[in-house]
Amino acid sequence: MSVLYLVRHGQASFGTEDYDRLSPRGKDQSQSLGNFLMRAGTTPTSITSGDMKRQRQTAQGLIEAADWDTTLDIDPGWDEFNASDLISAYPTDDPSAKSDSRAFQRLLEKASTRWASGDHDADYLETFTAFTDRVDAALDRAVDGLGSGQSAVVVSSSGVIAWAAARLLDGGFQQWLALNRVTVNSGVTKIVSGASGKTMVTFNDHGHLPSSWITYR
């Protein structure tokens, strides 16, 4: 069998002018996971991230902390959906969502429901169907590129990883929404592939983090 580890990026810089970069805690989370993987003897054949800054920074942090002699590959198929686009298209706004993470999550889930309905596709740069098709293709590329006994690490974001998990659970939008809500920064989802196809064996494992380092945004 082959193994794919899907890693959510470390905590980004919510509430700042540049969200798309790791916060100091996000850097700590990335280093903690890299140290954990090194101690576990995990040596991936490849490591890939999406093209977003927080994803690339997390991947580089893993490489450095785990002391992997691996070059980072970039695959934009692993990029997160455009949350700003979804919120901008939503009919009502909540000014507190700019600084309150809980208010932001509530607004994002309402906007995501509108996005996924398919009734307003012209309002979005990427439709929900296009997003899920993109993630499906990225997951297939990553798994199909592995030989027997090989492993790979992919660094992505909560929405992407939640959809990959929902797909493997034969779930749909509601399953995706529930998984997306609880995905932890630097959490690891493990997928094995063999004769019976792709199987998710763990979701959102974050045992490498002290409890005070667990974050969701």
The CATH homologous superfamily to which domain 2-81+132-213 belongs is Phosphoglycerate mutase-like (3.40.50.1240)
| Degrees to nearest 5, angle at CA 52 with 212 and 148 | 85
Stretch 169-179: mean pLDDT: 96
Tell me the C-alpha distance between 10 and 30, whole Å.
6
- pTM score: 0.93
pLDDT for res 17: 74
pLDDT for res 78: 98
pLDDT for res 95: 81
pLDDT for res 99: 74
User: What pLDDT digit, counting tens, does each position of 11-70 carry?
Assistant: 998 777 777 899 999 999 999 999 999 999 999 999 999 999 999 999 999 999 999 998
- 59-95 residues labelled b (16+ CB within 10 A) or e (exposed): bbbbbebbebebebeebebbbbbebeebbeebeeeee
User: What pLDDT digit, counting tens, does each position of 144-158 carry?
Assistant: 999 999 999 999 999
Q: Where are the domains of the chain?
A: 2-81+132-213, 82-125
pLDDT for res 63: 97
